[in-house]
Amino acid sequence: MLILIIAAIAFMFLGFFAYNSLRRKYAGTIGVGGSYIILLGVMLLFSSIGQIIGAISGESNVSALEIVLGVVVMLLCLGYMVFVMLTRCETVAQRILLPFAACLIGFGFIWRLLASIVAHVPMESGEHAEGAFPAILYDPSENQFRLLNEGGDNATYYCDKTGQQILFYKSDLADGLPNGWRRG
């Protein structure tokens, strides 16, 4: 039991530090919600094994109904994991690493959520700080351009004063704004 608690704490800390990179790497394969389903299945697997051993040895007062319901939910969650492995993972390495990555994402999210509440740490450092298009830009003549629409790698800005539209690509803003332009 102590070993499982230590392993869970280690997974939580590892998940905290690996959360952003794992979430980005597995974004097309599994999200946080799916990671929780897999994490629940893995945790219920260990719990069910312990409950069954306790029931057989007579050291547990868990009813048969609780064990059966736990096993059913565990099988549904692990069935989802197998479904994701077969339909969304492209390589054997992804299939093997999926349960570990999902558990780390799930545990990491828990720690990130607690850290954001208690210590005001951002949940994710993601793309929002750099690379996202600002809502307002000013040209060298101090005309205000506001974000009209954003589409993946480009954004259109519109100036109410001049009626001018301008298109920027993420690559245009990667190293800062073009000469004379500034963020609003």
Question: Using one digit for the tens of pLDDT, what is the confidence trace for 25-40?
Answer: 887 788 888 898 999 9
Q: What is the reported pLDDT for 73? A: 96
The residue type at 139: D
Q: What is the reported pLDDT for 45? A: 94
H/E element holding 105?
helix 92-118
H/E element holding 90?
none
User: Average per-residue pLDDT in the chain?
Assistant: 84
Whether residue 4 has pLDDT greater than 90: no
What is the token pair recorded at 158? 């519109």
What is the token pair recorded at 58? 């007579």
- Residue owning tokens 């298009």: 133
Check whether residue 96 and residue 29 sit in a common domain: yes
Check whether residue 173 and residue 99 sit in a common domain: no
Whether residue 128 has pLDDT greater than 60: no
Whether residue 105 has pLDDT greater than 60: yes
The residue type at 63: S
Residue 63 CA to chain centroid, in angstroms?
Answer: 36
What is the token pair recorded at 159? 């100036």
Check whether residue 158 and residue 84 sit in a common domain: no
Whether residue 11 has pLDDT greater than 60: yes
Check whether residue 91 and residue 161 sit in a common domain: no
Range of the structural domain that residue 167 is part of: 136-183
Q: What are phi and psi of 11, to 5 degrees?
A: -65, -40
Q: What is the reported pLDDT for 175? A: 64
Whether residue 126 has pLDDT greater than 70: no
What is the token pair recorded at 107? 């545990």
Could you tell me which of 127, 128, 126, 148 has the C-alpha nearest to residue 136? 148
The whole-angstrom separation of Cα 9 and Cα 138 is: 49
For residue 65, name the pLDDT band (cuts at 50, 70, 90): very high
* 108 assigned to some structural domain: yes
Check whether residue 7 and residue 93 sit in a common domain: yes
Q: What is the reported pLDDT for 150? A: 83
Q: What is residue 44's three-state secondary structure?
A: helix
For residue 85, name the pLDDT band (cuts at 50, 70, 90): very high
In this structure, the number of other CB atoms found within 10 A of the CB of residue 95 comes to 16
Least trusted range by pLDDT, from 9-23, 142-156, 164-178: 164-178
* 131 assigned to some structural domain: no
Check whether residue 54 and residue 142 sit in a common domain: no
Contacts of 160 (CB under 8 A, 6+ apart): 144, 146
Check whether residue 31 and residue 102 sit in a common domain: yes
112 touches 124 (CB < 8 A):
yes
Number of structural domains the chain divides into: 2
Check whether residue 41 and residue 78 sit in a common domain: yes
pLDDT over 70, % of the chain: 91
Mean pLDDT of 35-57: 91
What is the token pair recorded at 49? 């094994």
Q: What is the reported pLDDT for 120? A: 78
Mean pLDDT of 48-52: 91
The residue type at 109: F
* 126 assigned to some structural domain: no
Mean pLDDT of 42-61: 90
